[in-house]
Chains A and B, each alone.
Chain A
Amino acid sequence: MKFILKTIIKILIFSLLLIIPTGLFITFFTLNQRDIPVWNIGIRNIILFAKNLSLPIIAISYLVATLFTISLIDKMKVRSLFLLHIPPLFICVALIIGVSFIQQSKKYPLSIIEKKIQLGYRTFLREDVFNDVKDNALMLKRSDQNLFTVYIYDKTKNNLMVLNNMNMEKKGGNSVFIDRNKKQMVLTFRQKKKDTSLKIPYSDFNKQGGIINNKIILFYVEHLRRTLLSFKVYFETLAEDDKSIFLVTVFLSILMISIPFTYALNDGGWGFSGIIGEIFVLALLPFLYGAVLKIVQNISLNLSFLGRYSYLFPPIIFCSIGILIDIAIKVRGIKKGI
């Protein structure tokens, strides 16, 4: 009991410590993926965006904290491997019950709610300098309180376009506004007695941030995105009620497989290699899950024994693999006389 309590406290402390860096990383990364420059958006918007992503942030920091605790655990103090599953699962179940209760009491579904963050021209552009916008350089020069002269220089054709009296506050006439639905900045103006508009997609503006634009990270994320896509395809075939059950089971199954994996890699003789093992597990896990999902999608199996819960087959496979690893570790331990 003491061991379980201690482990629960450790996981909770690690989770709390990790929630801010994980939250910032996920928020910045998501913003970057949506082509929104991260350093001009303002703290209020960052907090709002992080709030929208609170569920994955909590889930990921909790998962990392759990694996970190297990990778650093003293194996001599683990009396039974099965006992080790209790603290993480206990917290997880408690969290799920808590979240479900809040969800039901507030009467909105579990899905992530996209609250609108505020975007303006300042999010994308700096005044009085040439901002790189794909093949153009764009400069805003304030001429009045809300009026600007916009200079757009086409670097491929050596052509400068000057738009006078552009309003940044009001939509219509000569103006600059953000079209959030189409993810673009729109400049409307009159040219040769015709109303014209120039549309600049978010992706044309300079991206900011070091690690979130790193090529290796982007390569990894691209593969992760494909896995998530196959997951999404599977997820969307489910009925509304089943979606929540599926999500919860998937998360539990991830815990079920990653705990014995991390424990197996935890080495009392070289603790640091355990941490490395944890990172290795975290990096590989999404792809393992993706592979299982693909197999399930591609082969036809008779899953009548699961009844209406046949969609839970992939997490069940994961859980089963986790249990098998648990047994293998136990048997190996007995053989070694531990």
Chain B
Amino acid sequence: MNKITKTTLLSLIISLFIAFILLLIFFYLYHGKNLGDEYRQVQSLKNALLLREATIHSLQFLPFVYIFINVLSFSVLFTLRPFHTDSFAYNNVAQPSYVLLIIFIMFIVSSEFVIIPKLAKENAPIKYRLRLAHRSASYAKELNTVREYEKAISVLNTYFEIDDNNQDMLDLYNNIMKILSKEPLPIDSTKKEISGVKEKVTVSYYEKGRTEYEKENYYSALYYLERALYLHKDNEELKELYKRCKGQVEDSLGKITKKEREKKRLIEHKERALDHLKNEEYYEAYNIFSDLNKMYPEMKDLSLYLETALRELEKKDFLPEELKNAEWLPSMNNIIFIDKQGYINTVERIIPYMDNFYFYNIRRHELVKGNMKTTHWKYGKWIKNKIRVKNDEGFKKIPEKDEGLHYIQTYIDPGYILYMNNSKELLTLLNIYERFSISENLHNSGFDIDNKYVYLSKKLGILFSVYVLSLFLSALAWARRSIYEFPPLLKLLLFILIVPVIAYFLHLLYIDMNNLIIYSHGYFTRVLFKNMNVALYTAIVNLVFSLIATLYFLSQSSRVE
């Protein structure tokens, strides 16, 4: 690599780097100024959001910046003193510029297909967390004002999951705790308490049972020992402890109810519920344990069995209370989509929270000619790739024939449904793999999205724009380059001000021209090559332009006309 080649590469890379940094700073400041109030609550998240937004926009603007740098280099930079050597030849600057252009196009490919969607995807939860923090802070203050302290504490706990450094919120938390006549927690212990929630105690059923037995909590001990016995039927030590525990419970049962008939019924019911639990019939088990628990709240084993059934049921069903408690969270509003069962669904609110998706006020309208009927559901929750819908009822087993009514089978995940209202944002989120794998499902859901090959053709337009414009304008700039030792300052200033704008508009014009090429595909295939793929057609037409630009670029020389 000779000195001129090195200088060429260095000047192009440094210019590109400086331009990118300048763009990044500009967009960071621009977005910082225009950021909505709901995204300003947590400084660290706000900075992360701004940095990603600025990077996305800088990457989107990078193609035209590269075109501008090429024009600037071939028009001015490569005519300056470091290039004034006897051995200088046009090839010394053209070759490294061409190689760098190819590398840059590869970078643009990864940027357009992967990096930008990845950054946008990372931004989506950050945005929601900021909205959540903002909503939690304002809602906790509201609750404090109306003296709903318990609820305010729960809302503040949600806030601390996002940001546990905000002094105002910590003060509010301590004030409320004071009012609730509890010891105010020092800041550190507040954090400790919050993080402590996540800690899981993993102790075996047998150990738990023995501990409860030693504490004389015989009902709890019975529950754990029964669970342990279910898993280890032949353990003698376990059998012995269970026998002793059962004896204690029977004694105690005598204190709870003296009526033999009632005692017998209780044992029968519990046995039946245990059978249901064993056969994974959780709805039935839940109903029996729920009734028994109401009748005998002192019997801790019943509530523990109830919890077990509840845990299992929550894997396929939900209680409306869960959604009522989450109602205050920020949501995506008024969303419409089509499902696999052939219904149009409208949802008033969707709340994405802690890996859950909650749906409020769902209306379903069957896509059948002349149908005017609509079914309405108050709540819905995303469970096992479906939306389980219901009104105010608790856990209720749905007969197989009615499943279509109580479950919405969507074409796409709720993470995409959230953006059905905001097509621009959704399209930015999708990387090339998703565009190819789910664009049909998005279309089936009613989302107005381009065919995957049209998408590819549009992206090709960006790549070819960089290639064709960089080469063509570089060649033109070189043919009409400056022959001054240093160009006149006023003209140089005008050049630096106007050329980026021209490069930007030419890049946009090329992309529009590419859209025109895509548009002409329909007409072309009517006449010739009926089944020709639109992406292939676009690539061929663009290749012709590329060839012309390459030939023009290669036809230049270091001779001054």
Contact = CB atoms under 8 A, between A and B. Distances in A.
Q: Do A and B truly interact?
A: yes
Given A130-B336, A153-B336, A273 B495 contact: yes
Nearest to B505: A211
Given A130-B446, A164-B369, A43 B494 contact: no
A137 B494 CA distance: 46
A143 B482 contact: no
Given A129-B443, A273-B491, A210 B511 contact: yes
Contacts of B348: 158
A276 interface: yes
Contacts of B532: none
Interface in B361-405: 361, 363, 365, 367, 369-372, 374
Given A160-B365, A160-B374, A153 B346 contact: yes
A274 B348 CA distance: 59
* Interface size range on A against B: 35 or more
Interface in B478-510: 479-484, 487-488, 491, 494-495, 498-499, 501-502, 505, 508-509
A209 B516 CA distance: 10
A41 to B, nearest CB: 10
Contacts of A273: 482, 487, 491, 494-495
A275 interface: yes
B502 A149 contact: no
Given A139-B446, A210-B512, A273-B491, A158 B498 contact: no
A240 B447 CA distance: 52
A270 B480 contact: yes
Contacts of A149: 367, 369
B164 to A, nearest CB: 36
B366 to A, nearest CB: 10
B515 interface: yes
A267 interface: yes
Given A153-B336, A162-B372, A210 B481 contact: no
Centre residue among A156, A158, A165, A279 by max chain B CB count within 10 A: A158
B369 A270 contact: no
Contacts of A280: 494, 498
A25 B484 CA distance: 36
A170 interface: no
Interface string A194-214: 000000000000000111101
Contacts of A157: 334
A141 B512 contact: no
* Interface size range on B against A: 35 or more
B363 A269 contact: no
B446 A24 contact: no
Nearest to B373: A162
B537 to A, nearest CB: 16
B419 to A, nearest CB: 13
Interface in B407-425: 420-421, 423
Contacts of B361: 158
A252 to B, nearest CB: 27
B480 A271 contact: yes
Contacts of A267: 488, 491
A31 interface: no
Nearest to B504: A216
A275 B473 CA distance: 12
A217 B504 CA distance: 11
B494 A210 contact: no
A82 interface: no
Nearest to A274: B480
Centre residue among B370, B423, B512 by max chain A CB count within 10 A: B512
A24 B365 CA distance: 43
B477 interface: yes
A248 to B, nearest CB: 30
A155 interface: yes
Contacts of B157: none
Given A158-B346, A276-B502, A137 B336 contact: yes
A276 B446 contact: no
A130 B447 contact: yes
Contacts of B334: 153-158
Contacts of A270: 75, 480-484, 487-488, 491
Interface string B511-526: 1110110011001000
B90 to A, nearest CB: 16
A21 B512 CA distance: 11
B363 A160 contact: yes
A142 to B, nearest CB: 10
Nearest to A28: B512
B304 interface: no
A126 B476 CA distance: 43
A261 B334 CA distance: 57
Interface string A124-139: 0010111110000101
A288 B111 CA distance: 43
Contacts of A219: none
A18 interface: no
Nearest to A25: B509
Given A129-B447, A153-B346, A270-B491, A210 B499 contact: no
B51 to A, nearest CB: 24
Contacts of A293: none
B142 interface: no
Interface of A: 21, 24-25, 28, 39, 43, 72, 126, 128-132, 137, 139, 141, 143, 149, 151, 153-160, 162, 164-165, 209-212, 214, 216-217, 267, 269-277, 279-280
22 contacts: A21-B513, A24-B516, A43-B520, A129-B448, A130-B447, A132-B423, A151-B344, A153-B346, A155-B421, A158-B348, A160-B344, A162-B372, A209-B512, A210-B512, A212-B512, A270-B487, A270-B488, A271-B481, A272-B75, A273-B487, A276-B491, A279-B498
Given A21-B513, A155-B336, A273-B491, 6 more contacts: A130-B446, A132-B423, A158-B333, A267-B488, A273-B494, A277-B494
